[in-house]
Structure 1
């Protein structure tokens, strides 16, 4: 029996709806509005429908969320001058001693999403004050090589190492981080089973593996298609990692994020991307994976986390990326390291 089709036009309509007005269920995600916008813009680019949005309006909105010091004396005050996650994030609910509102806090994840959006729509990133952004980003790197997402302190793990590496790569300037220290932190996150945890000693997780491997690739410490070369010279244990990733494809064809967990749409991107970097993506049962993803495709457009659930923007985007990796007709090729199309990644 012929499998169901990938409903490209319905997916475009789904993203267009999200572009115009987010449903009320996303109110709790207001502080992550830039991230949601990244899913929409990059998703439309993957679906070859980027012309459906007003690129100038998008650029103006993203640039309005950039953090800037109020005067030159504050440049070296330890604050991170990246991008705020949303309009409300630009303002702090707490007042200072004079009753005036203090500035909000920009963060690494929103900064990655902001630069990715601008790159996707063709904005010239050289117009951004990258020196200020990168100089202040170094304040977030810790002695062990990890990164905090905000300058006031928070958890440190591989997610924010990836954001820092992607930011430096997109800006073409690595002054924002100590690559050697970051490399050592990533290596220390590889576990005995071959996978990577978000922190050293943590349980191996598909998302953590993506962050670690793509960071090493962006920083130039890991060759592409390493399986076709001398894996013994790699800085990570490639054979164990390959086995861990391949074992995550479950009996229903989908990928699970950890052992003994149900298959989830998003891991078709997180884990398949790692396999592509390693050169092991041809070992995936692609027909089975496509079959699982189709069961998560909504009749109204978009993808859900599990079969039968309602679609959401996060899993929809990673459903689109997964189909791009499966070379679905009508989709643009994906640059897995940056999470955008190849054309956007190289600036065409």
Structure 2
């Protein structure tokens, strides 16, 4: 039976691409009122929208394309890569000089030059920016590596800062950063776990345990599953070469429970869709090799088509 307007979250058995493209086009044309005051996040929201369309293979169907912050800089560069722009034409030196001044003595990064927290999120932004620009002069890689290693917890996962609880998003930032900097190999689980700089068996055990009974992934112990962690946790397993440990059918079904009749995905079943969880749900479907999706460059969070440029090879 077709879903009614009073039942916008009825569970579908199939991924509805056309519905999600309409949702993304609406997000592109006019941000919902809740997003509009978030000026510092506007580039990130544009990144979620355009990269979603790119992963869906529909970027060319989008009707038009219209104080510095590490996350905004990463989002801007990712968008430019999706648009096919040559990043070597940018004033990359100014970017990396500014970024170099954001790295603290312990190896972490602040997102802005004053009054901000420093943690693994911004280490990731710095490494992704450096990789995209093919210029590492703005990052002390050894210091960044040591900071990341200090964030690995006793249970194998990574916290946002040393000593904090293991978290799926922080673990992604740690592993993707190490991969981008060249400190761990692709498919390390089977290629060199014994010689890795991180404790791979403990990490794998912690990651696999994040798949909940409903098939989705949780970000922390004793938390409900959440669609975004299908990427944050599933992406780490993809980088490590641990995809075979994921119950893919169960994950697929758990994601579809959050698919809205209006397009997009919600955090939990029964809630309204929004960009953040929609984007990471699309990423998860790409990792699951859903038909009709472009392949995802997990480490950079963009499609492989966008990532593959003159100096990019992942």
Fold conserved between structures, TM > 0.5? yes
Which residue of 124, 130, 142 maps to 2:104? 142
SS of residue matched to 1:25 = coil
How far 1:54 moved relative to its partner? 5.4
Aligned equivalents of 1:195, 1:41: Cα separation in 2: 31
Is 2:43 the partner of 1:34?
Answer: yes
How far 1:132 moved relative to its partner? 1.1
How far 1:246 moved relative to its partner? 0.3
Aligned equivalents of 1:21, 1:119: Cα separation in 2: 23
State whether residues 155 and 202 of structure 2, in contact with CA within 8 Å, keep that contact through their aligned partners in structure 1: yes
Partner of 2:207: 245
State whether residues 283 and 296 of structure 2, in contact with CA within 8 Å, keep that contact through their aligned partners in structure 1: yes
Aligned equivalents of 1:30, 1:152: Cα separation in 2: 18
How far 1:282 moved relative to its partner? 1.3
| Runs ≥4 residues deviating over 6 A | none
Is 2:58 the partner of 1:49?
Answer: yes
How far 1:127 moved relative to its partner? 1.2
Q: Could you tell me the TM-score, scaled by structure 2's length?
A: 0.93
Partner of 1:194: 156
Aligned equivalents of 1:230, 1:337: Cα separation in 2: 19
How far 1:159 moved relative to its partner? 0.2
Aligned equivalents of 1:318, 1:29: Cα separation in 2: 19
Aligned equivalents of 1:133, 1:22: Cα separation in 2: 28
How far 1:243 moved relative to its partner? 0.5
How far 1:3 moved relative to its partner? 6.8
Is 2:263 the partner of 1:330?
Answer: no
Is 2:107 the partner of 1:127?
Answer: no
SS of residue matched to 2:21 = helix
1:292-314 Cα shifts (integer Å, max 9, x gaps): 00000001100000011100010
How far 1:107 moved relative to its partner? 0.6
State whether residues 3 and 291 of structure 1, in contact with CA within 8 Å, keep that contact through their aligned partners in structure 2: no
State whether residues 41 and 117 of structure 1, in contact with CA within 8 Å, keep that contact through their aligned partners in structure 2: yes
Q: Does 224-233 or 40-49 show the bigger shift? A: 224-233
5+ residue gaps, structure 1: 59-104
Partner of 1:88: none
Which residue of 312, 316, 324 maps to 2:278? 316
Is 2:189 the partner of 1:257?
Answer: no
How far 1:228 moved relative to its partner? 1.0
Partner of 2:188: 226
**1:14-29 equivalences in 2 (<5 Å):** 14-29=23-38
5+ residue gaps, structure 2: 1-10
State whether residues 12 and 259 of structure 2, in contact with CA within 8 Å, keep that contact through their aligned partners in structure 1: no
State the Cα RMSD in Å.
Answer: 1.3
Aligned equivalents of 1:116, 1:198: Cα separation in 2: 23
Aligned equivalents of 1:188, 1:111: Cα separation in 2: 26
SS of residue matched to 1:200 = coil
SS of residue matched to 2:50 = helix
Q: Select the structure of larger CA radius of gyration.
A: 1
Partner of 1:207: 169
Aligned equivalents of 1:253, 1:341: Cα separation in 2: 25
Aligned equivalents of 1:52, 1:176: Cα separation in 2: 36
Q: Could you tell me the TM-score, scaled by structure 1's length?
A: 0.84
State whether residues 16 and 52 of structure 1, in contact with CA within 8 Å, keep that contact through their aligned partners in structure 2: no
1:84-126 Cα shifts (integer Å, max 9, x gaps): xxxxxxxxxxxxxxxxxxxxx2110000000000001101111
SS of residue matched to 1:257 = coil
Partner of 2:8: none
